[in-house]
Chains A and B, each alone.
Chain A
């Protein structure tokens, strides 16, 4: 009996002409954390989806604990002891934690669900792995970190011996990620095995025993984590060295956008602002740091013209602005929304229609009819210049990967419907979590675009939960907590400890 718990042999999967997985063979040992590393679109998610039975491989076979695993059958994977935590939440919001965990664990025709036993088992599993949950809480009320705990518990509740986590840290705060890593280490100590998908080099190096690197559907390298370095790993993953973003010197210009003691009411904390003031200057990057759900959404909605201030006022270029997105676009606002899938693009429409979504009246329509030729050639240039890959301009936007979707949105926002790059410069760029969930190459690229626009004189408001990103880019930083904004101070004057305190709401009292 070897210690190999999982063996993938020659897995190949094609989507149309795209080869998502190309003859991938991998083994997983008992008590090991294997990281699957790769850029977006490298085929990581496809591979584990095949493993778990969501997709059927075109070629290849899978063995779990020495027995062949039938393809395309999640129930068989679960029965074989393979559990999966998906990248996108697979919990039902309107049901309780216990409902979500117990689903499918009982014979369907049992006349009464054995909820008392289920609850005891859930609490026991939770205690064993240090994952605190309230079994009766409605999932909709849980935070992102809590939801993920439930997802992991779902697998552990079924006695999973192999746990697959697809980009588990993409949505977590640093502290939550830390807690997750501790949980994973506890699990392998008990003899479980973990496959951990990520494109974050630091955490891969820290948490995993072995690293398998995928690139363009191929397995390009497997190595022990202790035998490699971050830069070596990055090169293997991207296939080339990633140049760090170049900061051109830029000078602070006039105030472009002034938010003056704005208060916005809302039911949820994320939709509230209380007396927030901030001025955004041409050629300057101002950043808002803060844990999500503290009023960032309200600020973005204000600056995108989606909601009006209940008190106070906001001006752009000296004019008071109405709550009308079209007016903000006309005044030169470039908007990069946090949720690129739900808000940034219209998934079922093709890339070219998404590319003109902000300018479909002018200049891409006349007399109420869309000028398809002009619109399509604009989209073609945009796709070219911003390197949007994964299909042509007729591909539905939802088929793009996150990184390519973000490139499309960035291109649309920064080009303002103008044919040539030089013809347009946004007055104000509102970038909310612009690099959330992107891989290293795409992050560097997005940062470069933003820095370039700023160097040409655009004012940039960067809203991010990623402190590294803020510290790398921002000229001035303000911290948001519970709808209150600290005064914006030069980035260099903040210490990391100060930022952390302000994000927890401690510093805000002194400032007020």
Chain B
């Protein structure tokens, strides 16, 4: 068992797989993080990823370029983000209920549109996905597609925006104390709306990674709970982009490991036990790390101007 593990860890393919698994999680986690830093929980992520995966893929299938597909996915995410913003910011409805509603709505619409577009196919139609960046000539990274590079690059960008720019300060302030932000002359709803739309666009791209890079087709249940993992990762990361990357990599590490352990048949355990591993370890990590986390103080608190 130990030998098998050591061999696995020494293999560059394993680490390539880790990065590949981590990419949608990084994008999605950054998206959730942006929304939550502004004080809005976005449980729509699971459905927004499905919708992004579908529209991005559909655009490419219809003849658009891959990057256009990514933009279409981002726009799809932004549109659902706008809907979530109207429900939770303008109408100040329950963020849980609105988010779950968006998830069900977005995934149902995507599945429905897929069925309508391709009524008589037995095997899912495919596209030519992003290719690996062989030209990069770096171990592990050169086995990735440009979308992974984009995800990795976005981590410091988001961190910079949040911590070093006036815009980021405004986002953090509406998530901490919206009344204070308003007292300083900011529009709380505009800042929150912007953060939700931007975050949801990232979620759409996270979904598109699955159809445009990891696979080459759209099929049902392909997001498979990744959105929920992102929601947990944000807590694990204490709402910090750098830690979010670390959390996504950690989860991906366990996920890639369990895939290999299933095949290796070590320890005589049924493969379902290995399937559970990343989730169990995520919960353990959450308990170990997140108990000390300091939540954005206004998270999940709708702000109604002029109310007493």
For residue B170, CB closer than 8 A to chain A, the reply is: yes
* Listed residue (B169, B181, B182, B294) with the most chain A CB atoms within 10 angstroms of its CB: B169
B261-301 CB contact bits vs A (8 Å, 1 = yes)? 00000000000000000000000000000000010110000
Complex contacts, B170 vs chain A, CB 8 Å: 103-104, 108
For A103, what are the chain B residues with a Cβ–Cβ distance below 8 Å? 166, 169-170, 173, 180-181, 184, 186
Report the minimal beta-carbon distance from A151 to chain B, rounded to whole angstroms.
9
State in angstroms the CA–CA spacing of A105 and B173 once bound together: 13
Q: Which A residues, 88 to 109, have Cβ-Cβ distances below 8 Å to chain B?
A: 88, 90-95, 99-100, 102-109
The 4 A-B residue pairs with the shortest CB-CB distance in the complex, in nearest-first order: A75-B185, A92-B176, A104-B184, A90-B180
A-B contact pairs, 23 of them (CB 8 A): A52-B183, A56-B306, A75-B186, A86-B179, A88-B179, A91-B180, A92-B173, A93-B177, A94-B296, A95-B176, A100-B180, A103-B184, A104-B170, A104-B181, A104-B185, A107-B166, A110-B167, A111-B165, A112-B164, A112-B165, A113-B165, A154-B184, A399-B308
Prevailing SS type, chain B contact patch: helix
Query: Does residue B172 face the partner (Cβ distance < 8 Å to A)?
Result: yes
Interchain CB contact under 8 A, A91 and B177: yes
Listed in ascending order, the chain B residues whose CB lies under 8 Å from chain A are 164-170, 172-173, 176-177, 179-186, 294, 296-297, 305-306, 308
Number of A-B contacts (CB under 8 A): 87
A74 at the interface (CB under 8 A from B): yes
A101 CA to B306 CA, complexed, in Å: 22
Interface string of A72-95 (1 = CB under 8 A from B): 101101110000101010111111
Q: Which of B167, B305, B306 lies in contact with A108, CB distance below 8 A?
A: B167
Contact A79 B297 (CB under 8 A): no
Q: Which residues of B contact A107 (CB under 8 A)?
A: 166
Chain B nearest CB: distance from A116 CB in Å? 12
Residue of B nearest to A109 (CB): B167
- Residue A360, interface by CB 8 Å: no
In the complex, what residues of B have CB within 8 A of residue A92's CB?
A: 172-173, 176-177, 180, 297
Which residues of chain B come closer than 8 Å to A78, judged between CB atoms? 184-185
A55-B306 contact in complex given A74-B183, A94-B297, A112-B164, C-beta closer than 8 Å: yes
CA distance A55 to B179 in the complex (A): 13
| Least distance between B270 CB and chain A CB atoms (Å) | 45
Chain B residue numbers with a CB within 8 Å of A91 are 177, 180
Are the CB atoms of B185 and A95 closer together than 8 Å? Answer: no
Greatest chain B CB density within 10 A among A77, A91, A94 is at A94
Give Cα distance in the complex from A154 to B182, angstroms: 13
The answer to whether B166 touches A106, judged by C-beta atoms less than 8 angstroms apart, is yes
CB B227 to nearest CB in A, in angstroms, measures 26
Residue of A nearest to B175 (CB): A92
Could you tell me the distance between the alpha carbons of A105 and B186 in the complex, rounded to whole angstroms? Answer: 10
Tell whether, in the assembled complex, residue B183 and residue A15 are in contact, meaning their CB atoms are under 8 Å apart. no
Instruction: Return the CB mask of A102-128 against B: 1 if under 8 Å, else 0.
Output: 111111111111000000000000000
A118 to B163, CA, bound (A): 15
A390-401 interface bits toward B, Cβ cutoff 8 Å, 1 = contact, 0 = none: 000000000100
Chain B residue, CB-CB nearest to A78: B185
A54 at the interface (CB under 8 A from B): yes
A106 to B165, CA, bound (A): 9
Whether B164 pairs with A99 at a CB distance below 8 angstroms is no
Complex Cα distance, B165 from A62, in Å, reads 34
Q: By the criterion CB–CB under 8 Å, are A94 and B180 in contact?
A: no
Residues of chain B contacted by A105 (CB below 8 angstroms) = 184
The interface residues of chain B lying within 8 Å CB-to-CB of A79 are 185
Say whether A113 contacts B179, CB under 8 Å.
no
Selected from B164, B165, B168, B294, the residue in CB contact (under 8 A) with A94 is B294
Taking beta carbons and an 8 Å cutoff, which residues of A are in contact with B?
Answer: 15, 52, 54-56, 72, 74-75, 77-79, 84, 86, 88, 90-95, 99-100, 102-113, 154, 399
- Chain A residues whose C-beta falls within 8 Å of the C-beta of B297 in the assembled complex: 92-94
Given the known inter-chain contacts A56-B306, A103-B170, A108-B166, please indicate yes or no for A90 contacting B183, CB distance below 8 A.
Answer: yes
Nearest CB in chain A to that of B294: its residue: A94
Question: B165, A110: Cβ atoms under 8 Å?
Answer: yes
Closest to A52 in B: B183
Q: Give the nearest-CB partner of B165 in chain A.
A: A113
Task: For B179, list chain A residues within 8 Å (CB).
Answer: 86, 88, 90
A75 CA to B181 CA, complexed, in Å: 10
Residues of B within 8 A of A55 (CB): 306
Report Cα–Cα, A79/B186, bound state, in Å.
12
* Distance, CA A160 to CA B153, complexed state (A): 41
Q: Which residue of B lies closest to A85 (CB)?
A: B183
User: Given A92-B297, A110-B166, A113-B166: A54 and B306 within 8 A (CB)?
Assistant: yes
Residues of A within 8 A of B180 (CB): 90-92, 100, 103
List 11 additional contacts besides A90-B183, A106-B166, A399-B308; criterion CB under 8 Å: A54-B306, A74-B185, A75-B185, A92-B176, A93-B176, A94-B294, A99-B172, A103-B184, A104-B181, A112-B164, A113-B169
A102 neighbours in B (Cβ, 8 Å): 166, 169
In the assembled complex, the Cα of A419 lies from the Cα of B149 at a distance in Å of 72
Q: Shortest beta-carbon distance, A97 to chain B, in Å?
A: 13
Instruction: Specify which chain B residues have a CB less than 8 angstroms from the CB of A100 in the assembled complex.
Output: 173, 180
Q: Which residue of B lies closest to A102 (CB)?
A: B169
Closest CB in chain B relative to A163 CB, distance in Å? 13
Q: Which residues of B contact A84 (CB under 8 A)?
A: 183
Q: Which residue from chain B places its CB closest to the CB of A154 in the assembled complex?
A: B184
Residues of chain B lying within 8 A (CB to CB) of residue A94: 176, 294, 296-297
Give the distance in Å from the alpha carbon of A154 to the alpha carbon of B294 in the complex.
25
- With both chains docked as a complex, state the minimum distance between the C-beta of A217 and any C-beta of chain B, in angstroms: 14
Question: What chain B residues lie within 8 Å of A52 (beta carbons)?
Answer: 183
Of chain B, the residue at the smallest CB distance from A77 is B185
Chain B nearest CB from A210 CB (Å) reads 26
> How far, in angstroms, from A90 to B182 measured CA to CA in the complex?
9
Determine the chain A residues whose CB is within 8 A of the CB of B185 once the complex forms.
74-75, 77-79, 104
* Smallest beta-carbon distance B40→chain A, Å: 16
Q: How far is the CB of B162 from chain A (nearest CB, A)?
A: 11
Partner of B183, one of A86, A109, A110, A399: A86
Q: Name the CB-closest residue of A to B185.
A: A75
A100 to B184, CA, bound (A): 9
Docked complex Cα distance between A242 and B184 (Å): 40
- Asked whether A95 lies within 8 Å of B172 as measured between CB atoms, the reply is yes
Residue of A nearest to B176 (CB): A92
A99 to B172, CA, bound (A): 10
Query: What is the CB-to-nearest-CB distance from B192 to chain A, in angstroms, rounded to a whole number?
Result: 14
Least CB distance, A464 to chain B, in whole angstroms:
28
Which residues does chain A contribute within 8 Å of B184, judged by CB atoms? 74, 78, 103-105, 154
B119 to chain A, nearest CB (A): 47
Cα A183 to Cα B296 in complex, Å, equals: 33
Pick from B166, B176, B186 the residue with the most CB of A within 10 Å: B166
A109 to B167, CA, bound (A): 6
A99 touches B166 (CB 8 A): no
Distance between A16 CB and nearest chain B CB, rounded to angstroms: 11
- Which A residues are in CB contact (< 8 Å) with B182? 54, 74
List B contacts of A93 (CB < 8 A): 176-177, 297
Q: Bound complex: CA of A108 vs CA of B182, how far in Å?
A: 14
Pick the most buried of B165, B172, B184: most chain A CB atoms within 10 A of its CB: B184
**Interchain nearest-CB distance for A340 vs B (Å):** 16
A99 near B308 with CB under 8 A, answer no
